[in-house]
Amino acid sequence: MKQQVFNVLFLCTGNSARSIIAESLLRHWGEGKFSVYSAGSAPKGEVHPIALELLQHLKLPTAGLRSKSWDEFAAPQAPHLDFVFTVCGNAASEVCPVWPGQPMTAHWGVEDPAAVVGTEAQKWSAFREALRILENRIRIFSSLPLRSLDRLKIERQLQVIGTTMPEPGVG
């Protein structure tokens, strides 16, 4: 019997760092269980070079990663979405799209590493921290028994995961 594959979309403003990192991480940790996408409300048009280099260094999937508009997923031929996660760090000050339809949604805010101004070391540190937070949340999500939980229980778990932070030095 073929196992159901869930479609997941990670949304962010620029779709150049956080949502791209999340897409790659879930492709890795949820291989075979999820089809994963990312998009932005105001896409930058390119993947941030540090995000791409970090993913490649960690041997995480990078094939097909590109910065794109969330409008692609509102088109009639777009995949039906089961889950939509916003990963904008501060929803009050960033324009994060609200997804129409019936997918389960959650806000998993992470500070934007692409916004860090400083030395190269500080920028890399910000990207590693964003990856660490997202990886912790995605590993928890990908281990949920989604097929055996009802929608309400899944939605509660998604909200809790969005507040989960890894222990310092772990992840």
> Which residues are catalytic, by number?
12, 88, 96
Give CA 87 to chain center in angstroms: 6
β-strand pairing of 104-107 with 6-12: unpaired
- Which DSSP state fits 153? H
Residue with tokens 């990312």, as numbered in its chain: 38
Cα distances (angstroms) measured from residue 100 to each of 11, 21, 75, 89, 96? 13, 23, 12, 21, 13
Angle at 19 between CA 41 and CA 27, to 5 degrees: 135
- Rg of the chain over all Cα atoms, to the nearest angstrom: 15
